[in-house]
Copies of this chain bind each other. A is one copy, B any other.
Amino acid sequence: MTGELRVLPLPGIPEIEEGDDLAALLVDAAAGTGGLAEHDVLVVAQKVVSKEEGRVIRLDEVEPSAEARELAGEEDPRRVEVILRESRRVVRSRPPLVIAETPHGFVCASAGVDSSNAKGPGTVVLLPLDPDASASRLRERIGELTGHEVAVVVSDSFGRAWRTGTTDVALGVAGMTALLDLRGTRDAVGYELHATQIAVADEVAGAAELVMGKVDGVPAAIVRGLHPSGDGRGSDLVMPAERDLFR
């Protein structure tokens, strides 16, 4: 049985620039809470990962297409142009809102292109090209720096069908199961769980969001006590269209 979990915010992470050693900055920030420990899960907001990877666009270098101008309504068409470039397809739109499917298969507002907590006015931050690779790279580098095996979740805030508000979800995962498959196990009264798969990495991302906060500028948190294992990926959490009864 799982014991107690602790969810620890990591304040004090400086503004991230392309090429920074984000893993080292996370390790430093964690030192303020006693340091990263073996089997911690480190949840890192997508935005700082993207900044480290240079996934930032200056809007004054973007020429909007006719389609972008139409979808933008009264908003900045250059931002919508970036959203279209980051999209495999537009799922829904109601100017200026665009819900898009990204090349990763994520369905989210603005294809994950975000103006908040960006690199100042006139810039937007894109999703990492490969969030699972980002998570693996951070995990490996943290192992080098600390000698500890940690799991890493790269998180972002997504809206959902049917429900209001965003919850944080796992875009990238390394060092832990992303989707816990209980099919075939039995419940406490012996009933076989036929269809139960739990998106644990999304629940971990959401738990971390509770201490991170968009306003406070805390882009990372430790989830301790989960005893992560397995080698799940964020891509495990993307639902193939043909299996999705909820869309």
By a beta-carbon cutoff of 8 Å, the part of chain A in contact with chain B is: 1-9, 11, 91-94, 97, 99, 106-107, 109, 115-118, 120-121, 157, 159-169, 179-180, 182, 185-189, 191, 193, 195-200, 202-204, 206-207, 209-211, 213-218, 226, 236-239, 243-247
**Given contact pairs A203-B210, A245-B92, A4 touches B8 in the complex (Cβ within 8 A):** yes
Q: State how many angstroms separate the Cβ of A56 from the closest Cβ of chain B.
A: 13
Cross-chain contact of A245 among B2, B94, B182 (Cβ < 8 A): B94
Q: Are B4 and A11 in contact (CB under 8 A)?
A: no
Q: Are A189 and B97 in contact (CB under 8 A)?
A: no
Q: Are A203 and B160 in contact (CB under 8 A)?
A: no
Q: Are A5 and B7 in contact (CB under 8 A)?
A: yes
Q: State how many angstroms separate the Cβ of A186 from the closest Cβ of chain B.
A: 7
Question: In the complex, A163→B215 CA distance in Å?
Answer: 27
Q: Are A163 and B214 in contact (CB under 8 A)?
A: no
Q: Are A216 and B1 in contact (CB under 8 A)?
A: yes
Query: Which residue of B is nearest A202, CB measured?
Result: B167
Residues of chain B within 8 A (CB-CB) of A218 are 1
Q: Are B167 and A193 in contact (CB under 8 A)?
A: no
Please, could you name 17 A-B residue pairs with CB atoms under 8 Å apart, sorted by A? Answer: A1-B218, A2-B9, A3-B9, A4-B8, A5-B207, A97-B245, A107-B162, A116-B191, A116-B193, A117-B191, A160-B246, A162-B246, A166-B197, A186-B215, A188-B215, A188-B217, A203-B209
Query: Which residue of B is nearest A110, CB measured?
Result: B195
Top 4 nearest A-B pairs (CB, nearest first) are A188-B217, A165-B199, A207-B207, A203-B206
**Given contact pairs A1-B9, A2-B9, A116 touches B213 in the complex (Cβ within 8 A):** no
Question: In the complex, A199→B167 CA distance in Å?
Answer: 6
